[in-house]
Amino acid sequence: MKHCFIIGSKGIPAHYGGLETFVEKLTQYKSSNKICYHVARIGTQDFQYEYNGAKCFNLSVPNIGSAKAVYYDLKALQWCVNYCKAHAAIKKPIFYVLACRIGPFIRFFQKQIQKLGGVLYVNPDGHEWMRRKWCFPVRIYWKWSERLMVKQADLLICDSKSIEMYIRSTYAEYMPHTMFIAYGADLQASRLLDDDQKFLNWCQEKGIRKKEYYLVVGRFVPENSFEVMIREFMASKTRRDLSIITTVNDKFLAELEKKLHFKKDKRIKFVGSVYDQELLKKIRENAYAYLHGHTVGGTNPSLIEAMSSTQLNLLFNVRFNREVGANCVLYWNKTPGNLAALIERADQMAEDERNKFSKLAKKRVADHYTWEKICEKYETLFLKGGDIL
């Protein structure tokens, strides 16, 4: 039995977030009975439970601000090490750490992992140190931590080829061992029908109509281009709405209103969060087009999910997005007027051309990004353990 300990997500069942969804799908699609997943979960008290066949452990973590996630990762990793020490039958365990938060401490744990005969795998995630939500000292910490994680990891699993290239070139002195395994998505249509009352009620409550809205789904942070998308949408002549699904940050929202005065434009609609995955998929399916403004990170979950559900996708032109979207989408940049013109072009697009983009996007997801294929690659890797190194 190969034991794999997963640290760094908020835990399963997943409620929101890319890392949480990844762990949920990894355990849901497990096909080998030779793998046992152990999954950390952050909470307010310590207890253990099972979910999707995985052995999960909930850990209480004090609310200490931005250091909370670091404390959680450290506590979870130590819990896993102690668990292996207490269960001598576990041989060659795999410790898979998601994101690079604990670099200054990782050497201490790597020594313990080596004594156990185990290996340390790390998912570097995206460029967290580039996110503007962090103050300068925190961004410096993220970059330093990333370097130390890369240095100590036995294997870095990158969900983007661009991230893999960045790791190899930036940290060439460490000769990092890397592997590319993408993020996944479901191709199945929503179980809700177009006339399902849940969807119709949501549309009525938010004041939108089927196929008469552009859609944005993502974290409400500056690097996801909300300012550009809203400004350009306001500058366009489209009569459709812009439906923005996000958890609003009041400070950032006030900054945008001061700059853009978007509240005067009735087309701009912040509609809150949607945690019901079938409803969210139905909302994507009935959008006229999807706007994706992410500028940092690797393979973005919301992009793949949009490509598998939404007919037409308009992406910010950056290498991470081009890697996923290829020729199945349309691209825009931050030049004033560029996105506004693209929105007006999309508005006039013939149905057969929209269908062409839809088929191309769904085929690309089917060929490269289904959860079945992604989880199969992970299982193959985990069953080999340290033997590939």
Across 16-170, the runs of DSSP E, i.e. the strands, are 35-43, 47-51, 54-60, 94-98, 119-123, 155-158
Q: What is the pLDDT of residues 109-165, one digit of tens each?
A: 999 999 999 999 999 976 565 566 666 676 788 889 999 999 999 999 999 898 999
Domains of the chain, residue spans? 2-184+370-388, 197-368
Backbone angles phi, psi at 243, to 5 degrees: -95, 115
Percent of the chain predicted with pLDDT > 90: 80
What is the DSSP pairing of strand 313-316 with strand 35-43? unpaired
Q: What is the pLDDT of residues 264-293, one digit of tens each?
A: 999 999 999 998 989 999 999 999 999 999
Residue 384 has pLDDT above 90, yes or no: no
Token code pair at residue 357: 């983009």
Q: What is the pLDDT of residues 291-324, one digit of tens each?
A: 999 987 778 888 999 999 999 999 999 998 999 9
**What is the predicted pLDDT for the residue at 137?**
72
Nearest Cα neighbor of 232 from 340, 124, 350 is 340
**246 three-class SS:** coil
Is residue 5 within 8 A of residue 94, CB to CB? The reply is: yes
Is residue 307 within 8 A of residue 313, CB to CB? The reply is: yes
CATH of 197-368, one of 3.40.50.2000, 3.90.1300.10, 1.10.287.90, 3.30.70.360: 3.40.50.2000
What is the DSSP pairing of strand 54-60 with strand 268-272? unpaired
Backbone angles phi, psi at 311, to 5 degrees: -65, -45
386: confidence class by pLDDT, cuts 50, 70, 90 = low
CATH architecture of structural domain 2-184+370-388: 3-Layer(aba) Sandwich (3.40)
Backbone angles phi, psi at 102, to 5 degrees: -120, 35
Edge-to-edge order in the sheet of strand 330-332: 268-272, 241-245, 213-217, 289-292, 313-316, 330-332
Edge-to-edge order in the sheet of strand 178-180: 47-51, 54-60, 35-43, 2-7, 94-98, 119-123, 155-158, 178-180
What is the DSSP pairing of strand 2-7 with strand 94-98? parallel
Distance CA 223, CA 292 (A): 11
DSSP state of 320: H
**What is the predicted pLDDT for the residue at 298?**
72
Residue 261 has pLDDT above 90, yes or no: yes
Token code pair at residue 155: 């294997």
How big is the chain by its Cα radius of gyration, in Å? 22
Does the fold of domain 197-368 match that of domain 2-184+370-388? yes
Distance CA 380, CA 157 (A): 13
Token code pair at residue 74: 């450290």
Distance CA 224, CA 300 (A): 11
Place of tokens 């999707």: 52
Q: What angle do CA 346, 350, 352 make, to 5 degrees?
A: 120
Nearest Cα neighbor of 301 from 285, 324, 317 is 324
Q: What is the pLDDT of residues 354-369, one digit of tens each?
A: 999 999 999 999 999 9
This prediction has a pTM of 0.88
DSSP state of 189: P
169, burial (CB in 10 Å: exposed 0-12, middle 13-18, buried 19+): exposed
Distance CA 115, CA 44 (A): 31
Token code pair at residue 8: 């760094």
